[in-house]
Amino acid sequence: MSIKCRFCPIRNLPLFQPLTDAELGFMEDFKVGEMTVQPDTPILSSGAASPQLFTALKGFGLRYRLLSDGRRQVLSFVFPGDLIGLQAGVMNQMTHNVESTTAMTLCVFNRNELWTLFRNQPQRAYDLTWIAASEERFLGEALTAIGQKSALESVCWALARIYRRLEALHMDERKSVPLPYRQQDLADSLGLSLVHTNKTLAKLRSRQIASWSDGRLQVNDIQALEEMGLVDAIEPHNRPLM
Amino acid sequence: MSIKCRFCPIRNLPLFQPLTDAELGFMEDFKVGEMTVQPDTPILSSGAASPQLFTALKGFGLRYRLLSDGRRQVLSFVFPGDLIGLQAGVMNQMTHNVESTTAMTLCVFNRNELWTLFRNQPQRAYDLTWIAASEERFLGEALTAIGQKSALESVCWALARIYRRLEALHMDERKSVPLPYRQQDLADSLGLSLVHTNKTLAKLRSRQIASWSDGRLQVNDIQALEEMGLVDAIEPHNRPLM
DNA sequence: TTATCGTATGTCACAGTTTAATGCGCCTCC
DNA sequence: GGAGGCGCATTAAACTGTGACATACGATAA
């Protein structure tokens, strides 16, 4: 049984912009259901024109592209509140894949209603464009990390960004956040080998800056981590939730 | 004196979707002017909240991010028809820079009218979201190239994509297209050193697949280039023009 | 109990970087 | 008109950050 949007468990976090009653009403019509998936479930596949978009309510996933020989580039990690499938929704063609890493709960929206949303809810349409621009900005940051930063700088950048995102979701607890991914996933997001990623994480652990084990990331000094990762100061900013 | 949108020199290319009379009328109101810039002129700067968005009508530029120590990541190359500044327009904050490489002519749009566009022109709002999703998709491709491909594969990918984009703009002539950038620009877009980029281009020249000199790129065998660059087959698809 | 998966570590190889030098074309100044 | 400087492309040699390979260990599932 679907949760009504007004009872959404995450929408009242300060991270997310509030919605008007009219917007809430529209979203409740736009939402066609809820879906729970097990770990390692494909959610969207490259080449497929999916009829649905999703918002992640609970759980973790990732977006990735594959080369013909099996090499995998992880584009980003999916956390609660993230919209999934906008590219397919708007362009009618996916070029990347999305899959769950843990069990996930997803709100399901019907792509056929997207045009209705653009016609009747300009603020929500603006929010969708904002989300697309935000994802573009993140990919620009990732491109800069992979293209210009050393392995240590890149790993620090990635862990700092992950920590801050989960902190904004109030998932932090005593300077640690859940991080249920494998080291290969982080390696594939930064264009590094698994072995080198492991060694770089060991270096951070030995310097007591950050340690990742048993599905949790402990960050002792987020400022140091951000400085080592050359993370740009980003103004705190709330974001739309679909 | 500004060109009226209905007399836009590039809008009738098959690459671009046609506009209705109402949309044309709206765009002519949305457009506040035209701007010509000299080579090496900053158009948008990181951190600045620009009051304007632009469409490139003529000329070439690039988008890039800088690290604090001066390292530069070129995010993408700007060609005619490209929208500039959507991120700033929607998110009210740029995190990258845009600058001209050659003299450019730009259509200028007023950011204050963006909300009017969303309220009154849902099809144009949809087009903006499409453009944002398209740029996100391109950055995903670039991330995959830099993160997973060898230097030779990356250079082939980049040159093949550049050739196809300019071909779609009907700027090709006897298997060559204009490419008025420096080798350092290509190197900074692929996260490679200048020397290694030069050697890789020499390898392509010696194999008679592609050669880049005197501001032009000659591609003798685009299929071979695409294959070496592991370029995904992309369905021909026209795109909106702002 | 055995097999599999993920993490950890040591060693060696190499793709790409860094440094330095050269050549060419263009532009400015005398 | 010629000299000098600058920017860009090219190349060689030395260097290194990262990849490849191999092995071991602990946890978990069959």
Q: What is the pLDDT of residue B7?
A: 87
CA distances from B53 to A208, A213, B70, B106 (A): 45, 46, 26, 9
> Percent of chain B scored above 90 by pLDDT?
84
d(CA B221, CA A153): 39
| Contact check, Cβ <8 Å, A140/B65 | yes
Q: What is the pLDDT of residue A158?
A: 98
- Taking contacts as CB-CB distances below 8 angstroms, the residues of chain B near A116 are none
- CATH number for the region B5-136 comes to 2.60.120.10
d(CA B79, CA B161): 12
Identify nearest nucleotide to residue A205 by CA to C1′ distance.
Answer: C8
Q: Read off the amino acid at residue A66.
A: L
For residue B74, pLDDT over 90 is answered with: yes
Q: What is the pLDDT of residue B4?
A: 84
Confidence of residue B86 (pLDDT cuts 50, 70, 90): very high
| Contact check, Cβ <8 Å, B133/A71 | no
Q: What is the pLDDT of residue A1?
A: 63
Confidence of residue B1 (pLDDT cuts 50, 70, 90): low
Query: In chain A, where does the domain assigned CATH 2.60.120.10 lie?
Result: 5-123
The sign of the CA dihedral B188, B129, A35, A121 is positive
What distance lies between CA B71 and its chain's CA centroid? 21
Which residues have a Cβ under 8 Å from the Cβ of A169 and sit 6 or more positions away?
A10, A13, A15, A79, A80, A81
> What mean pLDDT, rounded, does chain B reach?
93
Alpha helix (H) residue ranges in chain A: 21-30, 86-91, 114-120, 122-148, 151-168, 183-190, 194-206, 222-228
Phi, psi of A13 (to 5 degrees): -60, 145
- Taking contacts as CB-CB distances below 8 angstroms, the residues of chain A near B140 are 65, 73, 75, 95-96, 139
- Angle at which helices B151-168 and B183-190 cross, to 10°: 110
Could you tell me how many residues make up chain B?
Answer: 242
Query: In chain A, where does the domain assigned CATH 1.10.10.10 lie?
Result: 149-228
Which residues have a Cβ under 8 Å from the Cβ of A230 and sit 6 or more positions away?
A149, A153, A156, A157, B67, B68
More confidently predicted of B95 and A160 = A160
| Contact check, Cβ <8 Å, A73/B148 | yes
DSSP class of B234: -
Condensed to tens digits (0 to 9), the pLDDT of residues B6-44 reads 888 899 999 999 999 999 999 999 999 999 999 999 999
- Assess A92–B contact: CB distance below 8 Å, yes or no: no
Q: What is the pLDDT of residue B13?
A: 94
The sign of the CA dihedral B138, B143, B145, B151 is positive
Helix, strand or coil for residue A240?
coil
Q: What is the pLDDT of residue B51?
A: 86
Q: Which two tokens stand for residue B22?
A: 């109402």
Domain spanning A5-123, CATH class = mainly beta
Find the helix or strand (DSSP H, E) in which B212 lies: strand B210-213
For residue B73, pLDDT over 90 is answered with: yes
DSSP per-residue string spanning B114-125 = HHHHHHH-HHHH
pLDDT in tens, chain A (242 residues): 678 888 888 999 999 999 999 999 999 999 999 999 999 999 999 888 788 999 999 999 999 999 999 999 999 999 999 999 999 888 888 889 999 999 999 999 999 899 999 999 999 999 999 999 999 999 999 999 999 999 999 999 999 999 999 999 999 999 999 999 999 999 999 999 999 999 999 999 999 999 999 999 999 999 999 999 999 877 777 999 99
* Topology annotation, domain B149-228: Arc Repressor Mutant, subunit A (1.10.10)
> Percent of chain B scored above 70 by pLDDT?
99
Query: In chain B, where does the domain assigned CATH 2.60.120.10 lie?
Result: 5-136
